[in-house]
């Protein structure tokens, strides 16, 4: 799995439901094991990773994240190169563990719908509890209540940002070891078999279970939504409370970025079921690299622009905020409406609402939209996603490239994903796809690319 692409689980294309993070690092093929009387599936993995690459990724991911957070500080305040600060303390470990346990407890809340996802290895569809929105609202309310009552000082957590990343790495390691030493072999969890001699390091880092469960908790779903996305929202809110405490750091710029992030996260949680069709959810096993991404990359890297503004406040005029808000708003509308059009057409192409849309008949029996949003650009949902991410980086100003790294990463990954999807569509639809590309020549940006 590609850790950084995880943030884009909701971006889909006409014919595919891509995930937030696919690197092509390994390919999976699900097949039945006829010798197993329980009917468990076996996932065959052809990995392109080697031990050197895996070790470098795992070691450097946390180190690079800490370095990026350190770069957000002014040169006179660099912690890693100067005095003060720590990259480890047990209080931070306690915070990460308490947050994980709290999210596990709230997973059991008797609210939200239970929906079916992919087919399990016993021939039955797996069920998932979608109450992430309620869990987020309760988590945010609890954080705010503790702060208002004086029990929690947000600045104390922000000052521990480096040790929180280290604690997330430690907890990820412990959880990964638990899954590796005691693999969950149930109807809900396919065993993963690697063709390259089943190297222990490979199985530990990439994973050897597809859908492990702890009681009713689907571990993969829990980590992606509750630890990754809700953790990101909690870090943003903590930074906001820290800015209020500091007073001098609270700015229109910081407020804009936090609001944009929360709109994006809330939209994801309202449509939480979209994560169940993503590539890393349906095709990739869960191992150390995925767990590490959820504990440190999504919460801390995604919130990098807010942390940057906390350390280097950037005052912008109200009139400057207007075009930034317009960029985010237009991006959100493009993203939302194009996905609505695509999903609605996929569910019922004969709906009168789509009677005026032009289509191309594919040899596969499907029809390709060639008007509406998808007649304007081939991946309008990706374009909307990119616009939103650049919008929440612009309030940081142009004194450093660091707060723009999440947006640049987003653009690179979605461009890669668009190319992968188009290659797949060409194989599937042949001349129909070539005709579509002729009539809609732009992939992501009209008249540019």
**Per-residue pLDDT reduced to its tens digit, 361-385:** 878 777 887 888 888 888 999 999 9
Tokens 């795992």 sit at which residue? 58
**Per-residue pLDDT reduced to its tens digit, 51-104:** 667 777 777 888 899 999 999 887 545 444 443 458 889 999 999 999 999 999
For residue 277, give the nearest of 116, 36, 89, 139 by alpha carbon.
116
Instruction: Please indicate, yes or no, whether residues 345 and 260 belong to a single structural domain of this protein.
Output: no
What residues contact residue 63 under an 8 Å CB cut-off, 6+ apart? none
Confidence (pTM): 0.84
**Per-residue pLDDT reduced to its tens digit, 182-206:** 755 555 566 666 665 557 777 788 8
| Per-residue pLDDT, 212 | 87
| Per-residue pLDDT, 114 | 87
Instruction: Please indicate, yes or no, whether residues 284 and 385 belong to a single structural domain of this protein.
Output: no
| Per-residue pLDDT, 28 | 31
Instruction: Please indicate, yes or no, whether residues 258 and 331 belong to a single structural domain of this protein.
Output: no
For residue 271, give the nearest of 351, 343, 368 by alpha carbon.
343
For the chain, the first-to-last Cα distance in angstroms comes to: 27
CA distance 126 to 276: 10
Least confident of 307-321, 350-364, 373-387: 350-364
- pLDDT of residue 41 exceeding 90, the answer is no
- H/E run at residue 128: strand 125-130
- Percent of the chain surpassing pLDDT 90: 41
Instruction: Please indicate, yes or no, whether residues 308 and 397 belong to a single structural domain of this protein.
Output: no
- Span 340-346, average pLDDT: 82
Instruction: Please indicate, yes or no, whether residues 308 and 336 belong to a single structural domain of this protein.
Output: no
Question: Which of 290, 315, 340 is the C-terminal boundary of a domain?
Answer: 315
Instruction: Please indicate, yes or no, whether residues 55 and 117 belong to a single structural domain of this protein.
Output: yes
| Per-residue pLDDT, 82 | 40
- pLDDT of residue 326 exceeding 50, the answer is yes
Q: How many domains does the chain have?
A: 2
Instruction: Please indicate, yes or no, whether residues 255 and 140 belong to a single structural domain of this protein.
Output: yes
Instruction: Please indicate, yes or no, whether residues 162 and 219 belong to a single structural domain of this protein.
Output: yes
CA distance 140 to 269: 14
- pLDDT of residue 391 exceeding 80, the answer is yes
| Per-residue pLDDT, 448 | 81
CA distance 264 to 303: 12
Q: How confident is the model at residue 33 (pLDDT cuts 50, 70, 90)?
A: very low
- pLDDT of residue 115 exceeding 90, the answer is no
Instruction: Please indicate, yes or no, whether residues 275 and 325 belong to a single structural domain of this protein.
Output: no
Q: Tell me the residue range of the domain where 430 lies.
A: 317-449
- pLDDT of residue 405 exceeding 90, the answer is yes
Question: Which of 315, 336, 356 is the C-terminal boundary of a domain?
Answer: 315
Instruction: Please indicate, yes or no, whether residues 178 and 307 belong to a single structural domain of this protein.
Output: yes
For residue 217, give the nearest of 322, 131, 291, 337 by alpha carbon.
131
**Per-residue pLDDT reduced to its tens digit, 241-287:** 999 998 877 889 999 999 999 999 999 999 898 888 877 787 788 88
| Per-residue pLDDT, 169 | 94
- Percent of the chain surpassing pLDDT 70: 81
CA distance 288 to 314: 37
Question: Which of 295, 315, 335 is the C-terminal boundary of a domain?
Answer: 315
- Span 136-161, average pLDDT: 94
Instruction: Please indicate, yes or no, whether residues 308 and 366 belong to a single structural domain of this protein.
Output: no
Instruction: Please indicate, yes or no, whether residues 274 and 354 belong to a single structural domain of this protein.
Output: no
Mean pLDDT of the chain: 81
């Amino acid at each position: 799995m590609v850790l950084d692409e995880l943030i884009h689980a909701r971006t889909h294309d006409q014919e595919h439901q891509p995930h937030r993070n696919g690197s092509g690092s390994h390919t999976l093929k699900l097949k039945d094991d006829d010798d197993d009387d329980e009917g468990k599936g076996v996932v065959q993995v052809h990995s392109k990773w080697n031990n050197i690459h895996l070790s470098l990724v795992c070691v450097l991911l946390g180190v690079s994240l800490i370095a990026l957070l350190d770069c957000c500080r002014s040169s006179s305040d660099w912690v890693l190169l100067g005095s003060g600060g720590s990259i480890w303390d047990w209080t931070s470990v306690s915070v990460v563990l308490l947050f994980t346990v709290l999210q596990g407890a709230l997973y059991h809340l008797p609210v939200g719908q239970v929906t079916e996802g992919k087919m399990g290895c016993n021939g039955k569809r797996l069920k998932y509890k979608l109450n992430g929105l309620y869990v987020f609202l309760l988590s945010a309310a609890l954080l705010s209540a503790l702060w208002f009552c004086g029990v929690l000082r947000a600045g104390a957590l922000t000052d521990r940002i480096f040790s929180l990343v280290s604690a997330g790495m430690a907890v990820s390691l412990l959880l990964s070891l638990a899954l590796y030493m005691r693999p969950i072999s149930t109807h809900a969890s396919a065993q993963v078999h690697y063709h390259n001699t089943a190297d222990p390091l490979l199985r530990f880092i990439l994973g050897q279970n597809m859908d492990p469960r702890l009681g009713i908790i689907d571990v993969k779903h829990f980590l992606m939504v509750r630890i990754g996305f809700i953790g990101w929202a909690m870090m943003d809110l903590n930074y906001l409370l820290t800015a209020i405490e500091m007073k001098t750091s609270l700015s229109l710029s910081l407020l804009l970025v936090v609001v944009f992030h929360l709109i994006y996260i809330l939209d994801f949680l309202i449509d939480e079921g979209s994560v169940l069709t993503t590539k890393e959810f349906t095709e990739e096993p869960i191992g150390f690299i995925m767990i590490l991404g959820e504990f440190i990359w999504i919460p801390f890297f995604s919130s990098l622009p807010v942390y940057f503004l906390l350390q280097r406040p950037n005052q912008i005029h109200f009139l400057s905020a207007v075009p930034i808000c317009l960029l985010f708003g237009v991006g959100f509308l493009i993203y939302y409406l194009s996905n609505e059009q695509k999903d609605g057409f996929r569910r019922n192409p004969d709906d009168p609402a789509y009677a005026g849309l032009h289509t191309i008949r594919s040899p596969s029996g499907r029809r390709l939209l060639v008007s509406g949003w998808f007649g304007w650009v081939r991946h309008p949902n990706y374009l909307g996603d990119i616009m939103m991410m650049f919008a929440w980086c612009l309030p940081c100003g142009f004194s450093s490239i660091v707060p723009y790294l999440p947006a640049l990463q987003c653009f690179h990954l979605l461009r890669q994903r668009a190319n992968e999807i188009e290659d797949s569509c060409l194989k599937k639809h042949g001349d129909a796809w070539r005709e579509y590309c002729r009539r809609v020549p732009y992939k992501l940006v009209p008249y540019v690319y």
